[in-house]
Amino acid sequence: MLRIKKNDIVKVLAGKDKGKTGKVITVIADKNRVIVQGINFNKKHAKKRRQDQQGGIIQKEGPLDMSNVAVMCKKCNLATKIGVDILQDGSKIRFCKKCKETIE
């Protein structure tokens, strides 16, 4: 089970956006990467392919390594370590290792 899911609010732990928080908009599970809204913007120069297209600079979020972000616990209001528990019925839940609160 992945410790980070889409729509999680995460805090960036490393890199140029260290300390910022944002919402996970994409999880790239097989590469252990996430894309976080507004974080790790990369500027790209767009080429004009056709006459009616606009060239210029496009800003797009780049992927971050999952190890460089931490999920925010709503109860602690802190970036926290996530634990995974298996319930008796076999379903898995995530919880905050600090306060033990379940994280949806």
75 is a contact residue toward Zn ion (CB under 5 A) = yes
The stretch near Zn ion (CB under 5 A) out of 30-38, 42-50, 82-90, 91-99 is 91-99
96 is a contact residue toward Zn ion (CB under 5 A) = yes
Query: Bridge-partner residues for 17, per DSSP?
Result: none
The stretch near Zn ion (CB under 5 A) out of 8-16, 19-27, 39-47, 76-84 is 76-84
Angle (CA) 8 66 45, round 5°: 95
79 is a contact residue toward Zn ion (CB under 5 A) = no
Tokens encoding 88: 């008796």
Q: Give the chain's end-to-end CA distance (angstroms, integer).
A: 13
Cα distance between residue 71 and residue 85, in whole Å: 16
Q: How many CB atoms lie within 10 A of CB 59?
A: 9
93 is a contact residue toward Zn ion (CB under 5 A) = no
20 is a contact residue toward Zn ion (CB under 5 A) = no
Catalog residues that contact Zn ion under the rule CB under 5 A. 73, 75-76, 96, 98-99, 101
